[in-house]
Amino acid sequence: MFYSSVSASADISGHLNLALLFGLVILGGTFGARLFQKFHIPQVVGCIMVGILLGDVFNLITPERIETLKPFTMFALGVIGFMIGAELRAEVFKKYGKQFFIILFSQGIGAFLLVTVGVSVIAWLALPSIVEDIDAANRLYTSLAMGLVLGAIASATAPAATVNVLWEYKTRGPLTAAVLAIVALDDALALLLYRGAATGAKALCGTSQGSVLATILVLLGEIIGAMLLGFLAAVVLYFLLKFVRDDDKVLAFSISCLLLVVGVSMIPDIDPILPAMVLGITIANLSPRESKNTFELVKKFSPPIYTAFFVLAGAHMQFGNLGFWLIVMIAMYTACRVAGKMFGSWFGAKYSGAPAAVRKYLGICLLPQAGVAIGLAILAGRQFNAELGHAIIMVVMTATFLMEIVGPMLVKVGVKKAGEVGLNITEEDLIKTYKVSDIMDTKPTSIPQDLLLQEILDVFSTSESVYYPVIDGQSRLIGIITIPDIKEMFANREFANWLLACDVAEPVRDTTTPNKPLEEAMEWMRRYNLENIPVVADGESNELVGVLDYRKTLRKISTEVLHRRRTADEMAPATG
């Protein structure tokens, strides 16, 4: 029954056009993200799980379809690189630059060395069961070659999943800055290590056709070319944005330049993250103020792109029958990579004098792997025979699956332990988290309904309020006295001895309740031009419990946002 359903799914997948497939991917990914968020699990995990279901389980997204969608995947990586660049402003590098590069090399080389040693040992033990009639010398050289290649791949960190978690939880502080910088630069380091390891592996296996120097020069040329591409695109975008102010034009120019960068980088098959990141860094530093709106527009445009990207990342996972030695190699690769990243991050942070939060928690924020690692694994697989090539690909893909599921949750743990969650929040974000009861004035100046006019005027003279609820003996709201009413009272002092509050109060236009979301209450006040709105316990009793002042609410929200950002920026960069 199961195999027949899988076969039916395969038939269906052949009839899915790209528009229908993308609709299914984004709808399923959004639903999965929302479902996992309900259980306080990062949304990226939900997207990946949906991708696994659509790919490996139901076979609706085949490897051929994934290859067809490679331009979209590259564009998604470009958007991620561009948004990372937005965070890497000059002041960040001035404050943390030395720490970033020390930690970058420490964690990357730590993972490379430990995985190289661990995998080489397992490969040496496993080779007789994988390759028939292998002699002792070839067994040693081949195991070392596999260790070198997998060690280099292990140094890579997936920026997409990591950064998505940081954005989801609105983080800000030294740990966030370090994570963004490391994941942005990590791909370049991984490529350097991979090219060197691949050259060494070819020499060990006797298939090398070029010198190490030539390989390094080619790689440096690619990196410099990628950076130059991003810089030139940024200069073009900078001048284009000088002539437009409309948000739609700003977004159109930004996306077009980003697409050009990604498209050009695909011609020599270069990872688009680096040039896109340089594009973002250059724009962020050429026009620090104006670029904020540009990045905000791209960020609002990007959620469906991220959702589809992570679903497709999950669909990459193809699990066949894993033999004993392959499972052992996967376990060794994963364990050594985790140990290398964590120890390397700790050592680099300690040596560079990074904050305590960076020393303690950076390592667990650098564990996710994805596209770059899988791409390098496929390249490495072509260097070896079919059996060894398949083993390398399966090791990386399975470990990637594990880290894509566990990694984002560990990123959340790290930034939460570091106290950086919610410190990069905006006014709109903060409003969404509040109820009316969190922000209302719980002790408004109210006026009893039977208070004489002369006594009401005395209350006005000693109060700073401009909005006075009128209540009965049971604290139930029966009317409102506002500024115009107060002016009229001063004009009618001759009636001060017999007019009561209930005689001069206006009818209540509207009320709200303490449990209502603040966002809804403020939207209602904007729509009907209400400066203040009474808060009653519930719709039936009409008991006054507070007043919501629109302008005071905005001031409180802005003050809280500034306080959180200041808290993040003032986190001590010294050791603690």
Residue 435: is its pLDDT beyond 70?
yes
Q: What is the architecture, at CATH level 2, of domain 75-301+333-414?
A: Up-down Bundle (1.20)
Top-level class of domain 432-563:
alpha beta
In angstroms, the Cα distances linking 45 to 30, 146, 364 are 11, 30, 16
**End-to-end CA gap in the chain:** 60
Q: Are 486 and 447 in contact (CB under 8 A)?
A: no
List helix spans (H) across 156-245. Answer: 159-168, 174-205, 212-241
Residue 460: is its pLDDT beyond 50?
yes
Q: What span, in angstroms and rounded, lies between the C-alpha atoms of 490 and 24?
A: 67
- 240-298: pLDDT as tens digits: 888 888 888 999 999 999 999 999 988 887 767 778 888 988 998 888 887 888 888 88
Q: What is the pTM of this model?
A: 0.65
Residue 308: is its pLDDT beyond 70?
yes
- List of residues 6+ apart from 168 with CB closer than 8 A: 42, 43, 44
Give the model's confidence band at 318: pLDDT under 50 very low, under 70 low, under 90 confident, else very high: low
Residue 531: is its pLDDT beyond 90?
no
Mean pLDDT of the chain: 80
Residue 421: is its pLDDT beyond 60?
yes
Residue 480: is its pLDDT beyond 90?
no
Residue 68: is its pLDDT beyond 60?
yes
Domain positions in the chain are 75-301+333-414, 432-563
Residue 91: is its pLDDT beyond 80?
no
Task: Write down the pLDDT at residue 433.
Answer: 82
Task: Write down the pLDDT at residue 89.
Answer: 74
Task: Write down the pLDDT at residue 231.
Answer: 92
Task: Write down the pLDDT at residue 253.
Answer: 92
Query: By percentage, how much of the chain surpasses pLDDT 70?
Result: 83
Q: Are 250 and 297 in contact (CB under 8 A)?
A: yes
Residue 114: is its pLDDT beyond 90?
yes
Average pLDDT, integer, range 208-233? 75
Average pLDDT, integer, range 98-105? 86
- 309 or 364: which carries more pLDDT confidence? 364
- For tokens 């990372």, the residue is 84
Phi and psi angles of residue 155, each rounded to the nearest 5 degrees, phi first: -75, -20
- 336-388: pLDDT as tens digits: 999 999 999 999 989 888 888 888 999 999 888 765 676 667 666 666 666 67
Average pLDDT, integer, range 124-138? 73
Task: Write down the pLDDT at residue 263.
Answer: 92
Task: Write down the pLDDT at residue 324.
Answer: 79
